[in-house]
Homo-oligomer: A and B are copies of this chain.
């Protein structure tokens, strides 16, 4: 996932120094709209995202679909504490993932490096969710969007002249579900940021970050610091 207000610390997290996928390692290719796993599926693997974008969701009792996280290259998905998944993971942008046998942690068949990597991934996941929690639990809609865009810019921003362009791989509805807002409020917040000239709109899903610093300031920041 890792959608959060970027601090010194989280920046480091956002670009983790993962060991390169080994040559000959199994890589699954996933098309947009397909599911990596569904609720009820056996949870015996964790997936390392190599490319693309995934969406982690859960279905609430009231029928709503809550977005828990987005997964970008470098992230791990599929953590579950039971024998089966209670969340669903589908593909937003054509993705490649490396499956790791999760159960292998228990029987010692896993080499130490990968073992440690998975553990670190789990811890990073906890940290990410903590930061996400902070974001959802006490910021205005504009602050959440600013925070969201800042992270997206770092994760999948492309150079665009002297600026950074971000092509949103998810719908407004997804963003809304992720940030705990309605689609209309998301739209309004983005419009607001655009009229403030912090971001420019190329089209609905392509934004150019004009003032990254101001955007982060708007976000209000997550942990520590002054």
B126 with A60: CB separation less than 8 A? no
A163 within 8 A of B: no
- The count of identical subunits is 2
- Partner among B116, B126, B138, B226 whose Cβ is within 8 Å of the Cβ of A122: B126
Decide: A68 and B132 in contact? CB cutoff 8 A. no
Distance in angstroms between the alpha carbons of A13 and B81 in the assembled complex: 9
Does A196 touch B at the CB level, under 8 Å? no
Q: Mark A66-81, 1 if CB is under 8 A from B, else 0.
A: 1010000000000111
Residues of B within 8 A of A124 (CB): 81
Given A138-B180, A223-B60, CB of A133 within 8 Å of CB of B129: yes
B136 with A180: CB separation less than 8 A: yes
Known: A106-B116, A133-B68, A180-B136. A61 touches B127 (CB 8 A): no
Bound CA span A80–B222, Å: 16
Taking the nearest CB of chain B, how far is it from the CB of A172, in angstroms?
16
A126 surroundings in chain B (CB, below 8 A)? 79, 81, 122, 125-126, 129
The answer on a CB contact under 8 Å between B138 and A226 is no
Q: Who on chain B is nearest to A182 by CB?
A: B138
Is A64 part of the contact surface with B, judged by Cβ < 8 Å? yes
22 contacts between A and B (CB under 8 A): A12-B82, A39-B223, A58-B223, A60-B134, A60-B222, A61-B222, A61-B223, A66-B133, A66-B134, A81-B123, A86-B224, A106-B116, A106-B119, A108-B112, A119-B122, A122-B122, A122-B126, A125-B126, A126-B126, A136-B137, A136-B180, A138-B180
Top 9 closest pairs, chain A to chain B, by CB:
A137-B180, A61-B221, A81-B123, A129-B129, A81-B124, A81-B127, A61-B225, A122-B122, A136-B137
A residues sitting closer than 8 Å to B (CB atoms) are 9, 12-13, 39, 58-62, 64, 66, 68, 79-82, 86-87, 105-106, 108, 112, 116, 119-120, 122-127, 129-130, 132-134, 136-138, 179-180, 220-226
